[in-house]
Amino acid sequence: MEVVHDHPHADTETIYSAVRNGLPDVSRQAVYDVLNALTSVGLIRRIQPLGSVARYESRVGDNHHHLVCRSCGVIADIDCAVGDTPCLTPSDDNNVLDGFVLDEAEVIYWGLCPNCSSVVP
Ligand SMILES: [Zn+2]
Ligand SMILES: [Zn+2]
């Protein structure tokens, strides 16, 4: 939990090696299991941009979105542009949700980070 908090958007490998700094005997499986458990109770959030490995973060419950750099894959947080969770009530009235109960809408903005865009001519 602490490691995820200190390494926002870290992948499993990064988290695993950071945990091992404090707990040299921890197994990879144990780290996976804890990440899965924390994700399922909602203490951390798993994000997985297309073509990327799963990342974890401890910033949950505020409906923020992510900017992902197409070039180097860096991930940045961006606050939801329109407040609460408007994307979660798409067409409720028309009953097209077909019984689905939504709890999250994931928005990912793709582009180039400042580092990568500055090397583009
Ligand atoms: Zn970049
Ligand atoms: Zn985030």
- Asked if 56 and 1 count as a contact pair (C-beta separation under 8 A), the reply is no
Q: Is the pLDDT confidence value at 120 over 70?
A: no
Which residues have their alpha-adjacent CB atom under 5 A from ion ligand 1? 69, 71-72, 74, 113, 116
Task: Give 101 Cα–ligand 2 centroid separation in angstroms.
Answer: 23
Task: Tell me what pLDDT residue 101 has.
Answer: 73
Task: Tell me what pLDDT residue 50 has.
Answer: 82
| Cα gap 13→3, rounded to integer Å | 12
Query: Pick from 21, 23, 75, 17: which is nearest to 51 by CA?
Result: 75
Task: Tell me what pLDDT residue 31 has.
Answer: 95
Task: Tell me what pLDDT residue 63 has.
Answer: 73
Q: What is the pTM (predicted TM-score) of this model?
A: 0.74
Q: In 8-102, which ranges are E strands?
A: 10-11, 45-47, 55-57, 65-69, 75-78
Task: Tell me what pLDDT residue 13 has.
Answer: 93
Task: Give 95 Cα–ligand 2 centroid separation in angstroms.
Answer: 31
Q: Is the pLDDT confidence value at 95 over 60?
A: no
Q: Is the dihedral of CA 108, 110, 116, 117 positive or negative?
A: negative
Which residues have their alpha-adjacent CB atom under 5 A from ion ligand 2? 57, 77
Task: Tell me what pLDDT residue 93 has.
Answer: 54
Amino acid at 6: D
Ligand closest to CA 116: 1
- Asked if 38 and 1 count as a contact pair (C-beta separation under 8 A), the reply is yes
